Structure 1
Amino acid sequence: MTRTALRICPLCEATCGLTVTLDGDRITAARGDRDDVFSKGFVCPKGASFGELDADPDRLTRPLVRRDGVLTEATWDEAFAAVQAGLRPVVEAHGPDSPKFSASLEQGGTPIAVVLGNPNVHTVAGALYPPVLLAGLRSRSVFTASTVDQMPKHVSSGLLYGDPLAIPVPDLDRTDHLLIIGANPMDSNGSLCTAPDFPGRIRALRRRGGRLTVIDPRRTRTAKLADEHLAIRPGTDALLLFAMVHVLFEEGLVDLGERAAHVVQADEVERLAAGFTPETVAGPCDLPAASVRRLARELAAADSAAVYGRIGASTVEFGTLTSWLVDVLAVLTGNLDRPGGLMFPLSATGAAPRPAGPGRGFALGRWRSRVSRHPEAKSELPIAALAEEIDTPGEGRVRAVVAIAANPVLSVPDGDRLDAALASLDFMVSVDPYLNETSRHADVVLPPPPPSRGAHFDYAFNALAVRNQVRYTRPVLPLADGQPDECAIHARLILCLGGQDGADPALVDAMVIDTVLGKAVADPHSPVHGRQPDGLAAQLTGRDGAERRLDMMLRLGPYGEGFGADPEGLSLARLLDHPHGIDLGPLTPRIPALLRTPSGAVELCPAPIAAEAERLRGRLGAVPDGLLLVGRRHLRSNNSWLHNVPALMGGSNRCTVQVHPEDAARLGLTDGEPARLKGDGGEVEVPVEITDTVRPGVVSLPHGWGHDRPGTRLGVAAADPGVNVNQLNAGRLLDPLSGTAVLNGLPILLTPVR
């Protein structure tokens, strides 16, 4: 018997609502939910393939435990017993309660590393439980996908606003002028900017007479829609944006607008920008000085304007500086925190607004990695340093790894070294639905159920959405017999680390609820100030601990009913009454209340940024020769974790090296024939694709491929493995403020394979 059910797509940051068709326990189709308050029926090829991904026959259905060197199926009790037996001795010898703990921190970390991959932000469990695990473990060896992605934006936001999670997004639906740098939302669907149907929103901008400018070394699908495309030299984005800042000051175009009273240090930015003239940056950027001046003037003259920069401008040597300059341009043109500019979303599960005033601010480098002494950022170390933290002998060496939804062997520089390092660990546990290039090294693999059998709420992406809204979907299908849901797997893993395997996983949620409510009743700004936590906890509803936590966060959030304080406010019960979601309205100004800086203002020129600007000044005369490597995003792909879905393979989703015709002729390359790429981390052979969509001097290779290592169970991916672009990169070059690996603008050698 067929039926339909609603589901929020977990496959990219657009968070589109889906209507899935089921035949028994099988999803036979997926289309956009036309009544979804946010996505309004939009769906991309990834969402349409939801059923095929969900039923992938290569997904693990039972835990794997290494016995006599071989991973074999086990019961859940056996698997968690193995986790506790493997990790607990390390915790007892080196963990928070051990005599060696303080000494291990002085050495730069603790022997258990936690590695969190990109899919964690797409699941309820990945949002709710890793923070609890990290709090209990108190490890300084924390590595996430952020340092091969968006960490520069966290750091720049932390320094500007005092909160690394206060990330402004372009108000796409109301802006008159959109400047995109290093992003291709026509293929990515947007990132750090949650916007279902980003392509449709771009077209709507054009229809209402707005202007779109794209700065990218490739003529992407997004660039093809633009009024103007400027093919910048990779890695020089900060120089371009600094020159635009220079023009704004030089020509008297600075206007801080309504937020002027809440901005300090603008004069210091003016002094920093001296010398970054359009004429000086023209050579390194390979852009005409006149074009740079015109960009600045157009931005200042627009009725409203927004600059949007993403991974192409983030994973570069000056990624934090570039991210900072994006917001600086918004401030200087009066487009920060106003409709049509850059605005701050207000998530339904975020902290309720508090009175404006000074905060604690944001600090960098509170500790450093053991080997290369990289400073932490947002309590994380650079994931490019994970291998050396494992394979370099000495006190504090990482001996065990907890990897959750992570495949760093493919996703970070020099996967060969990390591959060997993981094989040398004393113990590793991986929470992953696949036996992939990383999880194959685990001693225990704990597979979560397919996404259809879990609830979905976008804790991370609602805080980055271009319109305030809230949506929740319960599981579409029941769990298989004996299969714990993903939240229970995480909770039980936390208990194992504490030596409590066998205890009820619900204890983890109860502990969190008690802690959060205890803080809420002590907060004079909270709607439950002075009340009894036990009484509030008794009011929570939900089928399980994760739903009770969601109910608590909704009630205490900025739109919440406050446990009776506002009967019209949000709660889980009210959200369940609206299966297509609840629209909470367009983005509204939030400064100064959201600021957490010591001054209580937007601190426009933090000391770390000023020092980094002086380092950039030394690059003004540098014009690189040779080829530079950049990445490439495909509409049908998402990092390394969708290459096992037949419907998403083929078409434009191919692992080729794109080369401009001039470079191909000079190097003797033939379309479709193999070429050898060599970087400081290794070399690969890959078919050539000759195209004028890349500028001369640039080659492009997509990320996430290289599925040819033994011991995996990814049949579709292994049949068309491609090559691992990150193997070309030794990982020695990082953005120093954020620890983010430089993935774009890398020097490369390219030769034909004879």
Structure 2
Amino acid sequence: MKTTHYHTCNLCEAMCGIEVEHRGDEILAIRGDKDDPFSRGHVCPKAVALQDLHHDPDRLRHPVKRTVDGWVPISWEQALDETAQRLHAVQQRHGKNSVAMYFGNPTAHNHGALFSLLPLIKAIGTRQRYSATSVDQLPHQLAAWQLFGNQAMFPIPDIDHTDYFMVIGGNPLASNGSIMTVPDVKNRLKALKQRGGKLVVVDPRRTETAAVADEHHFIRPGTDVYLLLALIQVLYKELLVAPGRLDPLLDGKGDLQKLTENWTPEKVSEAVGISPEAIRKLARDIAAAPRAAIYGRVGLTTSPHSTLSAWLVYVLNIITGNLDREGGVMFTKPAFDIVALGALGGEAGSFDRYRSRVHGYPEFSGEFPVTTLADEMLTPGKGQVKAFVSHAGNPVMSCPDGNKLDTALEGLEFMVSIDLYINETTRHADIILPPTGQLEHGQFDPVFQAVAVRNVVKYTPPLFEKPEGALHDWEILNGLASRLNRLKARTARDRLQIAAADRFMRKIKDTGIIDLGLRLGPYGAGGKVMEALKRDGLHTLPSQAWKLLRGKHKGLTLQSLKDNPHGIDLGPLQPALPERLFTRDQRINLVPALYFRALQGLPVPKAANPDEMLVVGRRHIRSNNSWMHNSQRLVKGKSRCNVLIHSQDADRLGVQEGDELVLSTEAGSITLPAWVGDDIMPGVISVPHGWGHDRQGVQLDVARRAGGASINDVITSSRVESVTAMAQINGVPVKVEAAAKPKSKKRTATRKATADA
């Protein structure tokens, strides 16, 4: 019997609603859900591939342990007990910071994992924490915290109402938005043009988004900061600064003007690759637009000056009067308010409270940048990392210096991975704990609902029942945390508290936390409980939670979402300031000290080096993370792992389409075929990340056969951003050479005959 189930695709940030037709465990079709008020029937190829991932024969479905004879299955009880005991033993021998933790991108797509991370982090108690944040959005979070008082206070482009949309280093037509959850972006951009609006893209590549833009400006990778400074300089010089109604809330306008007054378009033009006239026109167009939104993304935030660039994007929106106004950049009012709850729990943000052992890199929100992870494992001495916990991440493929991290993982005393696959990173684990798959647990998106271009909320129950003997992410993480806490307990009271916390989590489950968060949110009825938590602290949450969940209240609840399987539209983004500000004085300082110092030390831009090639990444609609390469639906067709190179550079190197190119740095070298065209700036090459699954022991059959190579094997971890030590993975100089062509048998035989004669 055929059945239709409504779900949410969780393979990227778009949260597209899907309609899954199935017969028992057999998926018959996956289509876009036309009744989803947010995605409106839109679906991309990734959603259709969910059935590949669900039935993937390479996917682990029970815990495994590495032995001399290979991987062997073990029980959950043994897996969790042994993991906790071995982590505890390492810390007993080497100290609490001898264990490192890494959380990958998919962690943010799994509400159960998100809700359970903090107890595990506290149970392990290490400062050696890492995540995909420092190869992605850290500069945005830092700027949000510095300007608005909370690291999760991202200003989101109001794309449905803006008249002028500038995209710098982003490609929403391929990504479906990023820190801007925007399904059906193609039609939203069409609507922008139909109402007379303008789309402008600034990127070293003519991306899919640039191809449909009204204007596209090539920019030399890593020079975004200079363009932004020049734009602000023009606005001040031509008296176009107009913050609007937020002007009384702003401090530092004079400091900003002084800091930018010498960064003229003429000063930066040659380095940036955009003429002074074009820069001035961009500034004037932004100022003249009735409503404008400037959006910068990963190409900007993983570049040499990413801290300054992310800050300046927000500042540019502020001083043109486009912050917190319809059609500009606005703040969401999420049903599950992670911003307010994070602030309540002391997670609003932090920077440089302490530094890493080896390189002295600063922490951000309790995490070190991944650029020091391998060296923390390889460098002997007190505090050396001896054990590693990874969740839903593959840093060997996604972080710089993949080969170096590969070597570092080999030397650990113990490693455990919570993951579905044996990949380039998890192959080093002693124990792998596989959670349920994407369609075997419910889906709720507290992170991406908080960065959506409309206020929306949705919960979808699991399509398939949890397989017998399987555990969800939250159950695995809670099981580890409870066991570690019991091992560290010193008194009977400690043990009682640990048992009570464990019972609370098992009883409330992940769905109970969703229900609680909704009731505490702005559409719920838990205002009095929220006030009590603010007054008494989060340690009173269990008792307060039971009061709220047991009572009959009006307002949004989990049942409300279950009654609306297509999701609930809570309306467009609305002005929220100053009430939504989390700064102590509820004001916005345009030039916090951190940025003042960084801007003082910014070097004068240099002209492009004709002998130097800079590499940038490349996003594709059928990919997101490296583990998606194990879906035949997503990798079929012509190989996408190649080197996009401008025809001028190809001619100079003597290569044609399909010829092999060797890319090398001090970190290593890779060889890939050339894709010759004029959709990229001369002097720049583009290579997608996450490919090349040929390391020994990797059990990803489809991905292995797909070929390619990992660009992170040639990006060194020593090249870091000056303020945060975040990874630089865009605008990195590489040596590019034509690979030696194999000699034909005929020519080889002729040469041999000549030599013999």
Q: For 1:278 and 1:329, how far apart are their aligned partners in 2?
A: 16
Partners of 2:9 and 2:724 lie apart in 1 by 30
Is residue 511 of structure 2 the alignment partner of residue 511 of structure 1?
no
1:164 maps to 2:151:
yes
* Superposition pairs of residues 315-330 of structure 1, within 5 angstroms: 315-330=302-317
* In the alignment, structure 1 residue 620 sits paired with structure 2 residue 584: no
How does 1:88-487 map onto structure 2 within 5 Å? 88-93=88-93, 110-350=97-337, 363-487=350-474
Superposed CA deviations along residues 9-28 of structure 1, whole A, max 9, x for unmatched, are 01000011111011111222
Q: List alignment gaps of at least 5 residues for structure 2.
A: 489-494, 527-547, 741-757
Q: Specify the alignment match of 2:13 in structure 1.
A: 13
Secondary structure of 1:553's counterpart equals: helix
Contact 2:353/2:363 (CA < 8 Å) preserved in 1? Answer: yes
Paired residue type of 2:79? A
Distance (whole Å) between structure 2 residues aligned to residue 660 and residue 506 of structure 1:
66
Give the C-alpha shift of residue 498 in structure 1. Answer: 2.2
Q: Which whole-Å CA distance do the structure 2 matches of 1:129 and 1:508 have between them?
A: 15
On the 8 A contact 1:308/1:326 being kept in 2, the answer is yes
Counterpart of 2:641 in structure 1 is 655
Alpha carbons of structure 1 residues 657 and 546: separation in structure 2 relative to 1, 3 Å: same
The residue type paired with residue 48 of structure 2 is A
What does residue 678 of structure 2 align with? 692
Q: CA deviation at 1:363?
A: 4.0
Q: Which residue of 2 aligns with 1:491?
A: 478
Q: Give, in angstroms, the shift of residue 514 of structure 1.
A: 7.3
1:514-554 deviation line (CA, Å, top 9, x unaligned): 79xxxxxxxxxxxxxxxxxxxxxxxxxx9851111111111
Deviation of the 1:653 alpha carbon: 5.7
Equivalent residue in structure 2 for 1:720, among 701, 706, 715 = 706
| Residue type at the aligned position of 2:609 | P
What is the letter of the counterpart of residue 5 of structure 1? H
Q: Deviations over 1:7-59 (max 9, x none)?
A: 11010000111110111112221111111121111100101222122211110
RMSD after superposition? 2.3
The residue type paired with residue 430 of structure 1 is S
Q: Which amino acid aligns with 1:305?
A: A
Residues 155, 378 of structure 1: 8 Å contact kept = no
Q: Give the corresponding residue for 1:559.
A: 523
For 2:428 and 2:16, the matched residues in 1 are separated by 34
| Secondary structure in structure 2 of the residue aligned to 1:65 | strand
* 2:688 paired with 1:702: yes
Separation in structure 2 between the aligned mates of residue 413 and residue 188 of structure 1, nearest angstrom: 21
- 1:567 to partner: Cα distance: 4.4
Deviation at 1:213, TM superposition (A): 0.4
In the superposition, the TM-score normalised over structure 1's length comes to: 0.91
Query: SS of the counterpart of 1:547?
Result: helix
Matched-pair contact (CA < 8 Å) for 1:156–1:323: yes
2:615 equivalent to 1:629: yes
Partner of 2:45: 45
Structure 1 residues 262 and 512, CA gap change in structure 2 (3 angstroms): farther
Which residue matches 2:30?
30
The separation in 2 between residues aligned to 1:508 and 1:146, in whole angstroms, is: 30
Q: Secondary structure at the match of 2:4?
A: strand
Q: Which amino acid is the alignment partner of residue 692 of structure 2?
A: G
Q: How does 1:532-547 map to 2 (within 5 A)?
A: 545-547=509-511
Q: By how many angstroms is 1:182 displaced?
A: 0.3
| Contact kept in structure 2, 1:328 and 1:604, CA below 8 Å | yes
Is 1:73 matched up with 2:59?
Answer: no
Tell me which amino acid in the other structure corresponds to 2:108: V
Q: Contact (CA 8 Å) 2:525, 2:555: kept in 1 or not?
A: yes
**Once the two structures are aligned, what percentage of the paired residues are identical?**
41
Which residue of the partner structure matches residue 564 of structure 2?
Answer: 578
Moved more, 640-649 or 130-139: 130-139
Q: What is the DSSP-based 3-state SS (H/G/I as helix, E as strand, rest coil) of the residue aligned with 1:22?
A: strand
2:665 to 666, 675, 679: 679
**Deviation of residue 561 (structure 1)?**
2.0
Q: Which amino acid aligns with 2:576?
A: R
Q: 2: CA distance between counterparts of 1:620 and 1:628?
A: 15
Q: Matches of 2:456 and 2:496 in 1, distance apart?
A: 29
Q: Deviations over 1:122-177 (max 9, x none)?
A: 11222111122112222110010010111010111111112111111100000000
One-letter amino acid of the counterpart of residue 47, structure 2: G
Q: Distance between the aligned counterparts of 2:340 and 2:175, measured in 1?
A: 32
CA distance in 1, matches of 2:396, 2:668: 14
| Residues 647, 292 of structure 1: alpha-carbon distance in 2 compared, 3 angstrom cutoff | same
Looking at structure 2, the residues matched to 341 and 59 of structure 1 have their Cα atoms a distance apart, in angstroms, of 43
Q: Which amino acid in structure 1 is aligned with residue 277 of structure 2?
A: A
Residue 644 of structure 2 contacts residue 677 of structure 2 at CA under 8 Å; is this kept in 1? yes
TM-score normalised by structure 2 residue count: 0.90
Alpha-carbon separation, structure 2, partners of 1:211 and 1:44: 25
Aligned to 2:722: 736
Query: Structure 1 residue 304: deviation in Å?
Result: 0.2
Gaps of 5+ in 1: 95-99, 102-109, 516-541
Q: After TM superposition, where is structure 1 displaced by more than 6 Å over at least 4 residues in a row?
A: 505-510, 512-515
* CA–CA separation in structure 2 for the residues paired with 1:575 and 1:478: 19
1:598 matched to which residue of 2?
A: 584
Task: For residue 428 of structure 1, report the CA deviation from its aligned partner.
Answer: 0.5
Compute the displacement of 1:382 (Å): 0.7
Separation in structure 2 between the aligned mates of residue 652 and residue 231 of structure 1, nearest angstrom: 27
Q: Note if contact 1:6-1:33 (Cα within 8 Å) is conserved in structure 2.
A: yes
Q: How many residues align?
A: 709
- Are the counterparts in 1 of residues 486 and 498 from structure 2 also a CA contact under 8 Å? no
- Which has the higher mean CA deviation after the structures are superposed, 491-500 or 197-206? 491-500
Counterpart residue identity of residue 244, structure 1: L
SS state at 1:734 partner: coil
1:624 is aligned with what amino acid?
N
SS of alignment partner, residue 464 of structure 1: coil
Q: C-alpha separation between the residues in 1 aligned to 2:221 and 2:598? A: 19
**Mean Cα deviation higher: 75-84 or 457-466:** 75-84
**Within 2, Cα distance between the matches of 1:117 and 1:348?**
25
